[in-house]
Amino acid sequence: MVATPDKLDLGSSAHPHSHSHGSDSLGDGKADRVAVLLMGYGEVESYEDFANYNEQALNLLTAKFAPVPTWVYPPLARLLAIFDLHEWDHQHNHFVSPHNAIFEQQRAGIEQHLQARWGDRVQVFKAFNFCAPHLPEQVLTEIKAQGFDKLLIYPLLVVDSIFTSGIAVEQVNKGLARLTDGSEHWLKGTRYIPSFYDDPNYIDLMATLVEQEVQQKLAVAHLPSQTGIVLMNHGCPHKAKGFVSGIVESQALYDQVRVKLMHRFPLISVGWLNHDTPLIDWTQPNAHQAASNLIELGATAIVFMPIGFATENHETLLDVHHIVHTLRRKHPEVTYLQMKCVNDHPEFLKLAAELANPQIADLLAATAIAVDPTLAATMAETHHHHYHGDDHHHH
């Protein structure tokens, strides 16, 4: 791939703190704009879409760690759809996931913060990994049609791994490959925000939300030393075909939130929300085992707090509900408190926008790069010849 600089007249975009809300004074008004692609999983809202959703998820997620042949995906997706329908419709009174609606609130809130600083030079688009009409390629097509040529890829996922940001970037790359036209790619600048598992503001917010919930709902009846806290991360398989699965970052997130709470609440455990599958070694303890362990140590109340999920979904709602129901049958004397994800909490929207500001400033200030995708194959062939030439020389 060959890139050539194409110098732009940046106008007021050279001043990151400018509050201009118009693009007329910013050079040609097109090159000085940034499209922020906010990416999430997306969840089914129509039960008829279960099979299609599951097939996409199997292709993008399961293929990264499970040795399942691709021909199995369609029938397996249909089988899983039957279980999903039973759980969502019959067990949970026609449950419809709030994920997509919450994600739109997150998108709008982050955009509001960003436009307060950058004006209409910045626009935030949402994309869902598994849900049309917001699949990454569909949204990139819209971004291109609106004349944007600078892109900030922003998976709103707490941990950077092959199962989170990895599949987001994978789909962006597929979309960009299909949207290539001519000898010069329409995209002139790209930046990426990997995750915020180690962001001090996010860690502080997680701890603060737990403290406030305990103070408001449990403190009058339960001693701090008897208040068990399960900090829930997304479960990870230990082997993922060599891909980074997010275990290290998720553990680091848990450790840092625990440090903020442990002097007041000694009974704290990580709890992994696993997709338990045969022959796959998942992270332990799972959330159910974590809560059972804390009860054994004398907890009279258990708080389930999802720290590894930014947006509510069926796992944080239905899976945790099942765990609480099972625990309550065995330990009816214990109080159980199921907390929400951070969702559209004002402090979260503010910090999420602040994470994007440096990358937007870089995109607006950077020299545009004109990329010729047609040269990629030529370059690969050239490097291939160089490699074999060097190899022959060494022999």
Q: Residue 58 is part of which domain span?
A: 47-91
Structure letter (DSSP) for residue 277: -
Same domain membership, residue 326 and residue 237 = yes
How high is the pLDDT of residue 376? Answer: 59
Q: How many CA atoms lie within 13 A of 111 on its CB side?
A: 18
Query: Which residues, 6+ apart, have CB-to-CB distance to 97 below 8 Å?
Result: 43, 44, 45, 312, 313, 314, 317
Q: What is the pLDDT of residue 233?
A: 97
Give the pLDDT confidence score for residue 372 in this predicted structure: 55
End-to-end CA distance of the chain: 30
- Asked if residue 257 belongs to a domain, the reply is yes
What was the pLDDT predicted at 382? 57
* pLDDT for res 27: 39
* pLDDT for res 15: 37
CATH value at residue 254: 3.40.50.1400
pLDDT per 10-residue tile (average), the chain, 395 residues = 37 36 40 91 87 78 72 81 83 90 98 97 96 94 95 96 89 91 84 95 98 98 98 91 86 98 98 85 96 98 98 96 97 98 98 98 80 58 54 49
Q: At what angle do helices 99-118 and 346-365 cross, to 10 degrees?
A: 50
Burial bucket for residue 39 (CB in 10 Å: 0-12, 13-18, 19+) = buried
pLDDT of residue 7: 35
Same domain, yes or no: 158 and 295: no
Q: Let me know if residue 313 belongs to a domain.
A: yes
Please give the order of strands across the beta sheet that includes 34-40.
122-128, 34-40, 150-155, 189-192
Q: Are residues 33 and 179 in the same domain?
A: yes
Residue 387 located in a structural domain? no
At 283, the amino acid letter reads T
Q: Smallest Cα–Cα separation from 302: which of 315, 316, 288, 312? A: 288
pLDDT of residue 26: 40
Same domain, 13 and 116: yes
210 and 249 co-located in one domain: yes
Q: What φ, ψ does residue 38 adopt, rounded to 5°?
A: -85, 120
**Ramachandran angles phi, psi of 322, nearest 5°:** -60, -45
Same domain, 79 and 190: no
Alpha carbon distance 387, 89 (integer Å): 58
pLDDT for position 242: 76
Instruction: Indicate if 57 and 149 belong to the same structural domain.
Output: no
